[in-house]
Structure 1
Amino acid sequence: MSSALAIGAVSAVLRNLLDNGMVDVGPAVGTVKVTAVAPDTIKLDDPDFGPSLNLFLHRVTPNPGLRNAALPEFDPGGARRSNPPLALDLHYLLTAYGSADFQAEILLGYAMSLLHGRPVLDRAAIRTALEPSPLGAGILPPAYQALAASDLADQVEAVTVTLEPIDSEEMSRLWSAIQAHYRPSVGYVITVVLIEAAKPVRSALPVLSRGAPDEDTGDEPGVFVHPDLLPPVPTAFRVAPPEHQPAVRLGETVRIEGAHLDGSAVAVRFAHPLLEDPIVVDVGVNEEPSVVEVDLPSDAAAQAAWPAGVWTARVTLAPPGDPVVRETNPAAFVLAPEPVLAPAPVIVRDAGTGAVTVTLQSRPQVRPTQRAVLALDGDAAIAEPRTAATDPLVFAFGPVPDGERRVRLTVDGAESLLVDRSTSPPGFDPTQVVEVPA
């Protein structure tokens, strides 16, 4: 495959091809200069400006035939398993410039005839165009010297040159974007350029047998057939909080529902964006294929280690008859915070302004980088900045009305469970209230 220098290498090869072919047109128009720059940089008012050809790369598009030909770049675990090539088509604008009658037309005719006769840039021509000068690589510009390492001649697919018709409307838009005076031009598309990264990858070993061979016969068990629509591998569908609640609290039991969750060495890996490593809870042996139940801890260590917010849970297990440990997909759930209302939080009203300040603790602890919002009925306030997770949360409200107010604490989008959904119809939790002084 080619390297990232391949696009520049194609321009260099085309310019070299045109430069060598313009020797034959010499008697008709004189010395011809071939460039590969933007048309607006060409100085037409230069008194020494003579007949010339310019090759301008104005557009790059993905090749439709090879853009999805390779395997995905990463596996579900995030490890790089391939370097899929970047397949590109290069669109060029070939423009002829002349200072006398018919010069531009003659140049364009010779150039088009030359490219028509070379529909494929063969490997020998590419190597010849990009090899260092026999007088020494030091006489070439640094950019041209670097193109020798493009590996364009070694890519699998051939590089072809095809005339690309451009109608008058598109040509007008193109030259208007370039902001240069129009000159006789023709479009060409170069396909295909394959750019591949040179990064290390992980490649799986060949499969020796489909399952563990039988000890007596040596036959492999083959492919297992499941007569249902369930996934064939351990899969987590969702995490179900208890009592039909939308979130889980520390100390409660969560149900991870899925398929093929029975086995040995069962463990659940809980991950949170604020944690570098997941928290692993060992379950042991699970005999239920459709659910795994996990008791969340609620001790002092858990209050510091389990921040409120959005979590994901993965189940790892060894399925029955399979010694290989499998891991399910992640299933998301919300760990809700709990405002500590016993003992009662400190609520103070300013005698002059009537503003109310509430100071309370939360279970689990709220980390300084987390955003905490406290609502007293319909009035809400954001927690003031803190330096440690053990510091209390301080909320500065406006003149909140006095009396009994329902409390809602929200941490990183996870809201405390004010509504009790275990009853029908649901109702407010009577314990989630505070008394605001007059």
Structure 2
Amino acid sequence: MSSPLAIGAVSAVLRNLLDDGLIEAGSAMGLTVDVTAVAPDTIDLDDADASPRLNLFLYQVTPNQGWRNAALPSRSSVTGERLTNAPLALDLHYVLTAYGRADFQAEILLGYAMHLLHERPVLDREAIRRALDPSPLDVSMLPPAFQALTASDLADQLEQIKLTPSIMSNDEMSKLWSALQSHYRPSASYQASVVLIEGARPGVSPLPVLSRGPRDPTTQRERGVLVNPDLLPSVPTLFRAEPQFSQTGARLGEPVTVTGARLAGTGHVVLLRHRLNEQPFELTPDSVAASGESMTITLPGDAAAQAALAAGQLSVGLRLLVDGEPAPRETNTIPLILAPTADFASADLQRTASEVTVELTASPQVRTQQKAVLIIGTTEAVAAARDDAADPLLFSFDPAIAAGEQRARLRVDGADSILLDRSGTQPIFAPDQVLEVP
């Protein structure tokens, strides 16, 4: 596969092909011909001393229809590792334009150019290597942009580049030249297909399957595909994580009920992942239902958990050993909102003529990469930048904010502190989610 330099490499090879072909064709023009690959609006048409010119311009790039559904870049939903590097398949659309000041110069030049491309409908690999690495010429003598194209790997891609004349109607040609804001000159359009660009990041390839399930130690027969007489998933699967009282999120120290299927087994370990943590936070569930349909976990609230966990969206997974299987199995992941808990009772509020400042702490600690917003009543303020997660949050409000007791909530990465108390028959405002504005 080619690198992202392949688009520029195709243009460079085509320009080289046209340049060499016009040199070999001799002096039919009687003048030196310039071969360029620039935007038509940058060409000075008023220069009376300008030589005849042949210009190749890339005006459009489209996905290749044959390759576009081959695959998509994918990552593991569990670890985030890259699994595949699917190629970016592109078709390149060029307009070839001839410029000449004397009679018939442009027509003759365009005829030579179109014949050259007709005779070379495929850019063979050796021609690409010669064009991008013109030995024995020292590549370091060439412009820096051209030097970079030698690393495009265009000659080694799976498919060869094919050139096909494309038909543009008068309407399409008129729109193109109007968009270019340049005067029309005799032109022909071509399509170069296909350019395959692939990433160089390492992927993960699975090993071949040796058996469908464990083998019987006596007969060495495979167990086969596990079938259950119901419509539930055949492997341990998590469905949903529900905070207590149907709250919008769970807080540290509170229980969470996780529902699923086939959760029975041994060695249960709950895995809590967050985008800012490289490794999952592990904890043991409080209980697992004998039916395997649910389990209960309690989010720890100690100092270690406050530093290790982060507010916002967590992904909850489970690792367990299913009865009869030799190795632990890891389930899918489900979302869980970890709501921040702001210490409003110990908050420090100060009013000056220019602002009202609020300094408070939160649990878990708000990372320096997270966005924290304090909402007092209906007024919001974003926390000032900090150097360490253990530093308190500092908010600055407009002095027009009303004084007195007001409802408050802290929002971290879109997760709000719990403002409503749903433990009763009807929801009420939590009495501790208030600030006394001076």
Question: Does the pair score TM above 0.5?
Answer: yes
1:22-421 mapped onto 2 (5 Å cutoff): 22=22, 26=26, 28-31=28-31, 33-38=33-38, 39-70=40-71, 72-76=73-77, 77-134=79-136, 137=139, 140-273=142-275, 277-283=279-285, 286=288, 287-299=290-302, 302=305, 306=309, 308-337=311-340, 371=372, 373=374, 375=376, 378=377, 389=390, 398-400=401-403, 408-412=408-412, 413-421=414-422
Contact 1:266 1:318 (8 Å CA) reproduced: yes
Contact 1:265 1:283 (8 Å CA) reproduced: no
Task: Give the root-mean-square deviation of aligned CA atoms.
Answer: 4.0
Alpha carbons of structure 1 residues 167 and 48: separation in structure 2 relative to 1, 3 Å:
same
- Could you tell me how far apart the structure 1 residues matched to 2:240 and 2:55 are? 61
- Could you tell me how far apart the structure 2 residues matched to 1:406 and 1:306 are? 29
- Could you tell me how far apart the structure 2 residues matched to 1:127 and 1:383 are? 56
Deviations 1:338-384 (A, max 9, x none): 5669xx7699999x99x999998766666786636365xx5767698
Contact 1:29 1:103 (8 Å CA) reproduced: yes
TM-score normalised according to structure 2 size? 0.80
- Could you tell me how far apart the structure 1 residues matched to 2:169 and 2:28 are? 29
Q: Which moved more, 1:410-419 or 1:9-18?
A: 410-419
Deviations 1:384-409 (A, max 9, x none): 868875869999895545xxx68554
Contact 1:374 1:395 (8 Å CA) reproduced: no
Counterpart amino acid of 1:321? Answer: G
* 1:35 Cα deviation from its structure 2 partner: 1.4
Equivalent position SS for 1:170 = helix
Query: Number of residue pairs matched?
Result: 428
Contact 2:307 2:364 (8 Å CA) reproduced: yes
- Could you tell me how far apart the structure 2 residues matched to 1:127 and 1:73 are? 32
Contact 1:104 1:184 (8 Å CA) reproduced: yes
Contact 2:253 2:300 (8 Å CA) reproduced: yes
Alpha carbons of structure 1 residues 178 and 301: separation in structure 2 relative to 1, 3 Å:
closer
Alpha carbons of structure 1 residues 334 and 151: separation in structure 2 relative to 1, 3 Å:
closer
- Could you tell me how far apart the structure 2 residues matched to 1:435 and 1:219 are? 69
- Could you tell me how far apart the structure 2 residues matched to 1:337 and 1:136 are? 62
Contact 2:287 2:297 (8 Å CA) reproduced: no
Contact 2:269 2:283 (8 Å CA) reproduced: yes
Structure 2's unaligned 5+ residue stretches are none
In the alignment, structure 1 residue 5 sits paired with structure 2 residue 1 = no
Max radius of gyration: which structure?
1
Contact 1:85 1:195 (8 Å CA) reproduced: yes
Structure 1's unaligned 5+ residue stretches are none
Q: Which moved more, 1:247-256 or 1:155-164?
A: 247-256
Equivalent position SS for 2:171 = helix
Contact 1:18 1:111 (8 Å CA) reproduced: yes
Counterpart amino acid of 1:164? Answer: S
Equivalent position SS for 1:81 = strand
- Could you tell me how far apart the structure 2 residues matched to 1:114 and 1:55 are? 13
Deviations 1:105-157 (A, max 9, x none): 22222322332233222334334444424455566555445544433232221
Q: Which moved more, 1:216-225 or 1:71-80?
A: 71-80
* 1:267 Cα deviation from its structure 2 partner: 1.0
- Could you tell me how far apart the structure 1 residues matched to 2:200 and 2:433 are? 62
Q: Which moved more, 1:104-113 or 1:186-195?
A: 104-113
- Could you tell me how far apart the structure 1 residues matched to 2:25 and 2:434 are? 94
Equivalent position SS for 2:285 = strand
- Could you tell me how far apart the structure 1 residues matched to 2:437 and 2:55 are? 83
Contact 1:89 1:189 (8 Å CA) reproduced: yes
- Could you tell me how far apart the structure 2 residues matched to 1:334 and 1:239 are? 9
Counterpart amino acid of 1:256? Answer: V
Counterpart amino acid of 1:16? Answer: N
